[in-house]
């Protein structure tokens, strides 16, 4: 257990999460992306002696690891291998109707990036997988070897915001006529040939790999649906915190929160607690470089007309 920081990513902005979730004893919190359990552990410590955390993760290795890490908290923590879009089903099983706080910590863990067999990183060769839940569903290799050129272009343009989307899609289609694209090294080589001579501060394959990861895991649709469901499951004065790591995620979070704040359909709306996203301190960015792009947004659920 001493290898927690090495195995999963160091949780970002822990103190900020505790503050914006308003963690205290007696409350129930839903951690929709429990990962290595870093945020959950902090919430459980702060909500002692009777605060509860319900954790969800689609990565079976994260579920196994966080169960071991958090076992010392006994019946104050429950962890499920599930999509967070199924959070309502989980709460029904537990006979819980509403919760006091919900956390989404998006992105990929160090464990996922550094495990070559998961295929998330272009930095090492491995099978082109990228599934958050590697127990089911189709891999990136399966998808890019059969998708048509127009779908591939859409993925790289919309999910990777790449100007070279059309050229990358064409190169993939041409290459797979010769050999099936099965590994991260194969794909990286194709991409770097297309973007050769146009490198900026980041590796040419960075945005393309991000686009494919979002695509294979249906991340943007699930994030939008998860935030919607989460808001409906908050108690009055309950809070939601979302930590995003790229502009597409952050845009969805910002738009959803604004729509909740303008809600005229139900008797509840959101008060936005973070007019501008909260980012890690300079010290934290230095100590935890992988968290430097994190943006935290938070809301509280209130009755319409209540501006607390």
The Cα 117–Cα 120 span in angstroms is 8
For residue 13, pLDDT beyond 80? yes
Checking if the pLDDT of 1 tops 60, the result is no
State the pLDDT at residue 204.
Answer: 78
Q: What is the pTM of this model?
A: 0.91
Local confidence band at 196 (pLDDT 50, 70, 90 cut-offs): confident
Tell me what pLDDT residue 304 has.
82
Mean pLDDT check: name the lowest of 58-62, 85-89, 251-255: 58-62
Sequence-ordered strand ranges (E) for 109-230: none
Q: Tens digit of pLDDT for each residue in 26-49?
A: 999 999 999 999 999 999 999 999
Reported confidence tier of residue 290, pLDDT bands at 50, 70, 90: confident
pLDDT at 206 over 90: no
* Percentage, residues of the chain above pLDDT 90: 76
CATH 3.40.50.150 range(s) for the chain read 4-110+219-303
Look at residue 115 in the predicted model and tell me its pLDDT: 60
Q: What is the pLDDT of residue 263?
A: 82
Look at residue 6 in the predicted model and tell me its pLDDT.
46
Rounded to an integer, what distance in angstroms lies between the CA atom of residue 173 and that of residue 114? Answer: 28
Residue 101's contacts (CB-CB under 8 Å, 6 or more residues apart) are 21, 22, 23, 27, 28, 29, 30, 43, 234, 238, 239, 240, 241
- By mean pLDDT, which of 144-148, 193-197, 273-277 is the weakest? 193-197
State mean pLDDT over 242-253.
95
Of 81-90, 194-203, 223-232, give the lowest mean pLDDT range: 194-203
Across the beta sheet with 28-31, the strand order is 77-81, 52-57, 28-31, 99-105, 234-244, 295-303, 268-272
Q: Of the candidates 104, 100, 87, which has an alpha carbon nearest to the alpha carbon of residue 23?
A: 100
Q: Which CATH fold topology does 4-110+219-303 show?
A: Rossmann fold (3.40.50)
Averaged pLDDT, 226-238: 97
Name the average pLDDT for the chain.
Answer: 90
At the topology level of CATH, where does 116-217 sit? DNA polymerase; domain 1 (1.10.150)
**Cα 99 to the center of its chain, rounded Å:** 20
User: Could you tell me what percent of the chain has a pLDDT over 70?
Assistant: 90
Average pLDDT over residues 259-273: 90
Locus of tokens 């997988």 = 129
Please give the residue that has the higher pLDDT: either 264 or 27: 27
* pLDDT, tens digit, 9 for 90 and up, residues 101-142: 999 999 775 556 556 667 566 667 788 988 888 888 899 999
- Do residues 211 and 160 touch, judged by C-beta distance below 8 A? yes
- pLDDT band of 193, cuts 50, 70, 90: very high
pLDDT value for 270 = 96
Tokens 């794909």: give the residue: 187
Extract the tokens encoding 90.
């989980």
**pLDDT computed for residue 203 by the predictor:** 80
Q: 215 near 151, Cβ under 8 Å? A: no
| Cα-based angle 219, 273, 158 (whole degrees, multiple of 5) | 25
Is the model more confident about 291 or about 175? 175
Residue ranges, CATH 1.10.150.170, the chain:
116-217
């Amino acid at each position: 257990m001493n290898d927690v920081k090495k195995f999963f990513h160091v949780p970002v902005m822990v103190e900020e999460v505790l503050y914006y979730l308003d963690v205290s004893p007696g409350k129930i919190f839903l951690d929709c992306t429990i990962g290595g359990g870093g945020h959950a552990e902090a919430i459980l410590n702060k909500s002692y002696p009777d605060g509860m955390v319900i954790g969800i993760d689609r990565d079976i290795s994260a579920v196994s690891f966080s169960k071991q890490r958090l076992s010392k908290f006994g019946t104050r923590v429950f962890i499920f291998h599930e999509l967070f879009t199924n959070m309502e089903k989980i709460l029904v099983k537990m006979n819980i109707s509403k919760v006091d706080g919900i956390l989404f910590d998006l992105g990929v863990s160090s464990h996922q990036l550094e495990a070559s067999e998961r295929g998330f990183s272009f930095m090492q060769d491995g099978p082109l997988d990228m599934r958050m839940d590697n127990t089911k569903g189709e891999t990136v290799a399966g998808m890019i070897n059969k998708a048509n050129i127009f779908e591939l272009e859409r993925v790289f343009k919309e999910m990777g915001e790449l100007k070279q989307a059309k050229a990358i899609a064409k190169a993939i289609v041409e290459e797979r006529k010769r050999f099936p694209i099965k590994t991260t090294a194969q794909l990286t080589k194709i991409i770097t040939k297309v973007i050769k001579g146009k490198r900026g501060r980041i590796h040419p394959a960075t945005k393309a790999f991000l686009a494919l990861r979002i695509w294979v895991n249906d991340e943007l649709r699930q994030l939008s649906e998860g935030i919607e469901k989460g808001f409906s499951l908050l108690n009055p004065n309950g809070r939601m915190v979302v930590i995003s790591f790229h502009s597409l995620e952050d845009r969805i979070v910002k738009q959803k929160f604004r729509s909740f704040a303008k809600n005229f359909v139900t008797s509840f709306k959101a008060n936005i607690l973070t007019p501008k996203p909260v980012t890690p301190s300079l010290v934290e960015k230095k100590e935890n470089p992988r968290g430097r792009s994190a943006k935290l947004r938070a809301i509280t659920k209130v009755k319409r007309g209540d501006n607390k």
